Amino acid sequence: MKKWMIIAVSIAAVVTAIAVVCTICNNGQYVYIGPNGKQVAEPKIEENAWQPYKAIDLTDSTHVYKVSWSPEYNTAKVVYCKAAFRNDKEKQYRLVAPWLDGVDIERPNMDDIQFDRVLISSLPEGALTRK
């Protein structure tokens, strides 16, 4: 019985020593496992061109942004949204709200844009309906 105990402790010590050596050798090297358990290259995180520009806090249910702009050679437009994103690469704004399907505004085709934080209660009736 003592003989088996010594063998078991010896095997455990050898396995531990191998694990320590492997850990030291692989220090700072990360392995990424893909489908079917195969090693894959390190994933690269690409920055999104759409960056947050303005947003109403999620807990604020009483305010929205009134976005008004004048497209070139056109009448002024107004859209109400909860958040706006800006894409400097494409020179665009994207307005987002539950009642919008997403509105994209081309910056080169407008004269000005204005973001005003307003109370929902001050909006005209039907302003927040899906269009």
Q: Give domain limits for the chain.
A: 2-40, 50-122
Are the CB atoms for 9 and 3 separated by under 8 Å? no
Residue-averaged pLDDT of the chain: 81
Does this model's pTM top 0.95? no
Q: What is the chain's alpha carbon radius of gyration, rounded to the nearest angstrom?
A: 29
For CA atoms 104, 106, 109, 113, the dihedral sign is positive
pLDDT value, residue 22:
63
Locus of tokens 């539950």? 98
Residue 52 Cα distances to 23, 27, 96, 101, 119, angstroms: 41, 37, 11, 17, 21
Q: What is the pLDDT of residues 84-122, one digit of tens each?
A: 999 988 889 999 998 888 788 887 777 688 999 999 989
Q: From 115, 123, 48, select the one nearest 84 (Cα to Cα).
A: 115
